[in-house]
């Protein structure tokens, strides 16, 4: 059996959330009908199995022995009734199959409402209904964009801009905390008696560990800075690992005995974040309608997965996809030029405008009756510093074939009453790098997004990896609780619910690049999370 068969089996298993013993893969590859046998082996595996063993494959082969020639007909049985079928659809063509990715087998407890639906005839990819054309009534569609900062950039890069943007951030985030905490301005604290209880709302300006391993956090408000000590043996010490510079938090505690001498310190008992209320009730659409949430298309890269993209857009044209009326694109439409060192060696299209022309061609494959919303990412031809204004006139003109809504990164998009916060996600690299693995990793990118929700800011830290442009207003504050939070950038798929907010990182359409290989980034490619806007249930469809 060609090695290719084994590779296809491994990827088909992975897309269903399974690993397999090498021996099991070899057995499957040598079977008369590898896919059919794999399907039956999966049926024999217990529900909680995450690995397909040789035993599972053997029992499927045993069962097969009486009907081996019928195996592929079985797999295609659901398709046969209504139209042409693909004899070996699930792995040979990789056409639209809704599958459970690995992370779905390990759904965090918060994920209550989301489900990963199996397609009709799971594994038999293109289903019976899909031969029909979609038909939708566009008059029912509604998209409203909030928080587009395009054209509102006030920054001049002067020092004063930084003062303004941090003042605005502090004002708006401290408002979220003030109602819950009875705080004092930092300059009023030093005159309070030692030993009294006090609270501060401030921006984290420094985090240091002391010689004895405790944490000294400096909190800054509009009046000054105050040192706060978190003892290492307290439960709250774990929260220190989650802190990023420049985020706004509140602390409550007790002032040191020598406080009134002017060099006091606050011993912290509790740490509070601006947070999403646990009782948050998301809004839903009034009719059965869905949105596909994707990002990181990277057209122009040699690794752009053109065939998978076409399978996706072909599927969108089918009757099966006729409730998918919205396509949200969270940045990195094209690969761009000069984004990373030596990137040009992996470019398929070297001119940035040509990349957008090509992207526009791919966009034309999307049904014209779908509403498309796009924000830029760090590979796109807009300024890198966040907030990123939307594509300029020249690029809009290039992409005008499909009448898209083009807005800034980040933006909030109200889709039939469901508010979707779209953010490309550059700060996620920072959250993942600077917080412990329990908080977030590349394998669970949605957890890094939870941190942004908790901090009510999409890119808290200034001066690190994420470039921020100072503006009179901090456009990166999450003022309003979104119903759905959609980001990309890390090229890893992950989802969950954080205090009822459906949080999705949408993976990418670019196969592993040489750089990613060198640093062991194993991207999640060609997956389209589909959100039912009436229920906020999620289906993940794979196109590769």
List, edge to edge, every strand of the sheet that includes 97-98: 97-98, 538-542, 527-532, 290-294, 324-330, 371-375, 405-406
Spatial separation of the C-alpha atoms in residues 150 and 37, rounded to whole Å:
54
Among 148, 164, 221, 296, which residue interacts with Fe ion (rule: CB under 5 A)? 296
Cα dihedral across residues 160, 162, 167, 168: positive or negative: positive
Cα dihedral across residues 392, 398, 400, 406: positive or negative: negative
Near ligand D5M by CB under 6 A, which window of 79-87, 275-283, 493-501, 513-521? 513-521
Among 347, 381, 384, 521, which residue interacts with ligand D5M (rule: CB under 6 A)? 521
Does 303 bind Fe ion (CB under 5 A)? Our answer is no
Question: 403 exposed, middle or buried (CB, 10 Å; 0-12, 13-18, 19+)?
Answer: exposed
Q: What residues between 319 and 338 interact with ligand D5M by CB under 6 A? A: 332
Q: How many CB atoms lie within 10 A of CB 225?
A: 15
Does 517 bind ligand D5M (CB under 6 A)? Our answer is no
- What is the Cβ-side half-sphere exposure of residue 346, based on CA atoms within 13 angstroms? 22
Does 489 bind ligand D5M (CB under 6 A)? Our answer is yes
CA distances (Å), 404 to each of 326, 372, 373, 412, in order?
11, 5, 6, 15
Residue located via tokens 């930084």: 162
Near Zn ion by CB under 5 A, which window of 335-343, 365-373, 452-460, 483-491? 483-491
Q: What residues between 426 and 445 interact with ligand D5M by CB under 6 A? A: 429
Query: Binders of ligand D5M: how many residues, by CB under 6 A?
Result: 12
Stretch 327-366: interaction string toward Fe ion, x if CB under 5 A: -----x----------------------------------
Look at residue 353 and give the partner it binds from Zn ion, Fe ion, ligand D5M, none, a contact being a CB closer than 5 to 8 Å depending on partner kind. none
Q: Where are the alpha helices (DSSP H) in 299-440?
A: 306-316, 352-364, 393-398, 426-434
Residue located via tokens 């949105």: 291
Near Fe ion by CB under 5 A, which window of 293-301, 349-357, 384-392, 499-507? 293-301
Does 380 bind ligand D5M (CB under 6 A)? Our answer is no
Question: Nearest approach, Cβ of 427 to ligand D5M (angstroms)?
Answer: 11
Near Zn ion by CB under 5 A, which window of 299-307, 364-372, 376-384, 512-520? 376-384
Near ligand D5M by CB under 6 A, which window of 262-270, 313-321, 390-398, 484-492? 484-492
Q: Which is nearer to Zn ion, 297 or 502 (CB)?
A: 297
- What is the Cβ-side half-sphere exposure of residue 10, based on CA atoms within 13 angstroms? 10
Look at residue 515 and give the partner it binds from Zn ion, ligand D5M, Fe ion, none, a contact being a CB closer than 5 to 8 Å depending on partner kind. ligand D5M
Does 384 bind ligand D5M (CB under 6 A)? Our answer is no
> Quick check: helix, strand or coil at residue 251?
strand
Give 536's contacts (C-beta < 8 A, 6+ positions apart).
Answer: 113, 114, 282, 284, 418, 483, 484, 502
Near ligand D5M by CB under 6 A, which window of 132-140, 278-286, 433-441, 489-497? 489-497
Stretch 311-350: interaction string toward Zn ion, x if CB under 5 A: ---------------------x------------------
The answer, yes or no, to whether the previous bond of 400 is cis (omega within 30 of 0) is no
Indicate the residue whose CB is closest to ligand D5M: 340
Look at residue 429 and give the partner it binds from Fe ion, ligand D5M, Zn ion, none, a contact being a CB closer than 5 to 8 Å depending on partner kind. ligand D5M
Q: What residues between 252 and 311 interact with ligand D5M by CB under 6 A? A: 296
Does 491 bind ligand D5M (CB under 6 A)? Our answer is yes
Instruction: Assign residue 399 a region (left: φ > 0; alpha: ψ between -120 and 50; beta: otherwise).
Output: alpha
Q: Which is nearer to ligand D5M, 316 or 431 (CB)?
A: 431
Does 515 bind ligand D5M (CB under 6 A)? Our answer is yes
For residue 442, the 8-state DSSP code is T
Does 489 bind Zn ion (CB under 5 A)? Our answer is yes
Contact criterion met (CB below 8 Å) for 485 and 456: no
Which residues share a beta bridge with 252? Answer: 199, 270
Near ligand D5M by CB under 6 A, which window of 71-79, 188-196, 236-244, 487-495? 487-495
Among 90, 103, 378, 466, which residue interacts with Zn ion (rule: CB under 5 A)? 378
Does 505 bind ligand D5M (CB under 6 A)? Our answer is no
- Our CA dihedral for 252, 253, 259, 263, rounded to 10 degrees, sits at -70
Q: Which is nearer to ligand D5M, 16 or 379 (CB)?
A: 379
Look at residue 490 and give the partner it binds from Zn ion, ligand D5M, Fe ion, none, a contact being a CB closer than 5 to 8 Å depending on partner kind. ligand D5M
List, edge to edge, every strand of the sheet that includes 411-415: 143-146, 411-415, 418-423, 484-487, 501-506, 493-498
Q: Which is nearer to Fe ion, 334 or 372 (CB)?
A: 334
CA distances (Å), 474 to each of 36, 158, 362, 391, 477, in order?
55, 15, 34, 20, 6
> Quick check: helix, strand or coil at residue 215?
strand
Among 378, 411, 500, 505, which residue interacts with ligand D5M (rule: CB under 6 A)? 378
Look at residue 284 and give the partner it binds from Zn ion, Fe ion, ligand D5M, none, a contact being a CB closer than 5 to 8 Å depending on partner kind. none
Look up residue 111 and give its two tokens.
Answer: 């994920």
Look at residue 221 and give the partner it binds from Fe ion, ligand D5M, Zn ion, none, a contact being a CB closer than 5 to 8 Å depending on partner kind. none
Which residues of the shown chain bind Zn ion in the complex (CB under 5 A)?
332, 377-378, 489
Which residues of the shown chain bind Fe ion in the complex (CB under 5 A)?
296, 332
Which residues of the shown chain bind ligand D5M in the complex (CB under 6 A)?
296, 332, 340, 378-379, 429, 489-491, 515-516, 521
């Amino acid at each position: 059996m060609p090695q290719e068969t084994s590779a296809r089996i491994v990827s088909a298993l992975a897309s269903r959330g399974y690993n397999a013993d090498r021996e099991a893969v070899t057995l499957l590859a040598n079977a008369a009908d590898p896919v059919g046998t794999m399907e039956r082996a999966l049926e024999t595996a217990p529900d909680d199995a995450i690995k397909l063993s040789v035993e599972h494959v053997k029992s499927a082969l045993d069962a097969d022995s009486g009907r081996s020639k019928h195996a592929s007909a079985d797999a295609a049985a659901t398709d046969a009734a209504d139209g042409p079928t693909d004899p070996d659809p699930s792995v040979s063509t990789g056409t639209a199959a809704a599958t459970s990715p690995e992370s779905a087998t390990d759904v965090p407890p918060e994920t209550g409402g989301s489900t990963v639906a199996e397609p009709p005839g799971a594994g038999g990819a293109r289903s019976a209904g899909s031969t029909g054309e979609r038909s939708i009534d566009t008059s029912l569609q509604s998209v409203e964009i909030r928080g587009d900062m395009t054209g509102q950039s006030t920054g001049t890069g002067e020092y004063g801009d930084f003062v303004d943007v941090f003042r605005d951030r502090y004002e708006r985030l401290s408002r979220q905390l003030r109602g819950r905490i009875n705080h004092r301005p930092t300059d009023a604290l030093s005159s309070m008696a030692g030993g009294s209880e006090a609270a501060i709302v401030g921006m984290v300006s420094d985090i240091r560990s002391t010689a004895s391993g405790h944490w000294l956090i400096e909190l800054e408000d509009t009046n000054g800075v105050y040192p706060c000590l978190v003892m290492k043996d307290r439960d709250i010490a774990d929260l220190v690992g989650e802190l990023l510079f420049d985020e706004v938090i509140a602390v409550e505690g007790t002032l040191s005995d020598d406080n009134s001498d002017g060099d006091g310190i606050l011993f912290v008992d509790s740490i509070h974040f601006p947070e999403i209320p646990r009782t948050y009730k998301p809004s839903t659409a009034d009719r059965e309608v869905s949105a596909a949430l994707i990002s990181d298309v990277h057209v122009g890269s040699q690794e752009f997965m053109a065939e998978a993209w076409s399978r996706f857009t072909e599927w969108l044209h089918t009757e099966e996809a006729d409730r998918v009326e919205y396509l949200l694109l969270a940045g990195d439409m094209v690969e761009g030029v000069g984004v990373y060192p030596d990137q040009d060696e992996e470019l398929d299209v070297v001119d940035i405008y040509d990349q957008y022309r090509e992207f526009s061609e791919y966009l034309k494959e999307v049904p014209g009756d779908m509403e498309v919303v796009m924000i830029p990412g760090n590979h796109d031809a807009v300024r890198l510093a966040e907030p990123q204004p939307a594509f300029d006139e020249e690029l809009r003109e290039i992409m005008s074939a499909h009448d898209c809504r083009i807005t800034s990164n980040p933006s909030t998009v109200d889709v039939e009453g469901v508010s979707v916060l779209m953010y490309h996600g550059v700060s996620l690299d920072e959250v993942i790098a600077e917080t412990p693995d329990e908080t977030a990793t590349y394998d669970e990118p949605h957890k890094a997004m939870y941190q942004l929700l908790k901090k009510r800011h999409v890119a808290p830290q200034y001066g690190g990896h994420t470039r921020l442009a100072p503006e009179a207003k901090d456009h990166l504050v999450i003022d309003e609780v979104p119903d759905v939070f959609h980001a990309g950038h890390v090229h890893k798929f992950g989802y969950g619910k954080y205090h009822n907010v459906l949080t999705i990182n949408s993976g990418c359409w670019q196969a592993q690049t040489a750089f990613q290989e060198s640093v062991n980034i194993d991207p999640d490619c060609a997956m389209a999370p589909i959100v039912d806007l009436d229920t906020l249930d999620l289906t993940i469809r794979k196109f590769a």
